[in-house]
Amino acid sequence: MKKVMVVGAGPAGLMAAEVLSGAGVEVHVYDAMPSVGRKFLLAGKGGLNLTHAEPADIFVTRYGARREQIANLLQDFDATQLRDWAKSLGIDTFVGTSGRVFPADMKAAPLLRAWLQRLRHPATGVAVQFHMRHRWNGRHADAPDGAAGVTLGFDTPQGAVQAQADAVLLALGGGSWARLGSDGAWVPWLQAQGVVLAPLLPANCGFDAQGGWSAHFADRFAGQPFKSVAIAVTTSDGQRFQRKGEFVLTAGGVEGSLIYAASSLLRDEILAHGSATFHLDLRPDLAPERVLAEVSHPRGSRSLSSHLKGRLHLDGIKAAILHECLSKEQMHDSATLAAAIKALPITLVAARPIDEAISSAGGVRFEAMDSQLMLTQWRGVFCAGEMLDWEAPTGGYLLTACMASGKRAGQGVLRYLGGV
């Protein structure tokens, strides 16, 4: 019986293990954490977003520069197949108002328990064996004389151990949430093997604003959301982003779903030019002419704050950011104030650290692997999941692509082993 080591017990690694064990392969899953799927469970804490129900031709556009490569992986396992797979575990799903797909109970733990039960006690195939608290330490040895097989070294609470298999599948995650196992420690080890990598960068991340916020503004409003707003970004090379939604003010900048959706453009603009600016529309439902008319309407004895609240429903954090970013003279100039309400420039100077990010960009370049995700510089070693060089916004796109890559890599291992 052929033996495969899967290193990493996240969704990509578990999906690969399912493919392999179902084909009669002896699968051993190794992970540095005490239990399986730690980041998966955390991601589902507020409701597990499995995938997205939008049409496939739109779905694939969410993967930016790696659209072609991810579209290829999704041929094996797309959003519909993911929902069917969840159903096979006894987990019903539903489509939310935003098009996002969730388990019926919104929880990650029941799905993970059902998945592990099937992996450990499959109806057909071979039971997967799990080795927790086994952290790959970068040590390895290939089989002699060109024979198939790889040996890896692991650090465990009982000391260093070695394990050997006919093939290895690495699903080590990216560089975010190091405390859950995705620490990027594997980067220099693969580079030493001649594997071409893109630098790991924060994705779906927050940003620091130029100069930060005033103490008064930050103390009062940090943690509060901007709701029913829009942002627009135009990069130096002409890329454009515009969307309605919401985001959150932080002590020194911004974060949240609307910012995450634009994070790749903002991050890359900062890396290239030192800063990036987005324009905040505080009343996206009103035309600029209407806003100017409302601002210019005589206010009599009312204060400016009362005027903005009464005419444009601008109060709280929305009114406060105008006072934060505009001078007193600008606030009392109707044309300037109206323009700011529709397009207030917010300049960002740094992405938050990668360990704070929801996900990461960069990793093993697709050009460093064959079509089955085997490293061209390390025969018998495959890669899957977030450690590959791609990124996507939140909304189910991350999980779908991770699982699709796990399935493709698992199928690739089977082909490498001769169909078993």
Residue 9: half-sphere exposure toward Cβ, Cα within 13 Å = 27
How do residues 56-77 score in pLDDT, each as one tens digit? 999 999 999 999 999 999 999 9
How far is Cα 256 from Cα 8, in angstroms, rounded to an integer? 28
pLDDT exceeds 90 at position 241: yes
Amino acid present at 246: E
pTM score over 0.85: yes
Give me the pLDDT at residue 141, please.
87
Q: How far apart are CA 210 and CA 205, in angstroms?
A: 16
pLDDT at 142: 76
Q: Would you state the pLDDT for residue 43?
A: 83
User: Which helix H or strand E contains 272, and what residues bound it?
Assistant: helix 263-273
Q: What is the pLDDT of residue 145?
A: 60
Task: Please name the helix (run of DSSP H) or strand (run of DSSP E) that holds residue 16, with its range, or none.
Answer: helix 11-22
- Non-local (6+) Cβ contacts of 84 within 8 A are none
Alpha helix ranges (H) inside 46-155 = 56-59, 67-74, 79-88, 109-120
Q: Which residue has the tokens 């100077």?
A: 349
pLDDT at 166: 96
Strands, DSSP E only, in 157-307? 159-165, 167-170, 197-203, 207-209, 225-234, 240-249, 253-255, 276-281
Instruction: Round to the nearest angstrom and report the end-to-end CA distance of the chain.
Output: 8
Q: Taking 90 as the threshold, does the pLDDT of residue 266 lie above it?
A: yes
Judge whether residue 101 has pLDDT over 60: yes
The pLDDT, as a whole number, for residue 144 is: 66
Query: What are the pLDDT digits (tens) for 172-204?
Result: 999 998 888 889 999 999 999 999 999 999 999
Decide the pairing of beta strands 51-52 and 100-103: antiparallel
Give the chain's domains with CATH numbers. 3-202+357-416 (3.50.50.60), 207-351 (no CATH)
pLDDT of residue 405 exceeding 80: yes
Banded model confidence at residue 335, pLDDT cuts 50, 70, 90? very high
Say which range, 173-187, 270-284, 391-405, has the weakest mean pLDDT. Answer: 173-187
Q: Over 80: is that where the pLDDT of 392 sits?
A: yes
Q: How far apart are CA 248 and CA 257, in angstroms?
A: 8
**DSSP secondary-structure letter at 211?**
T
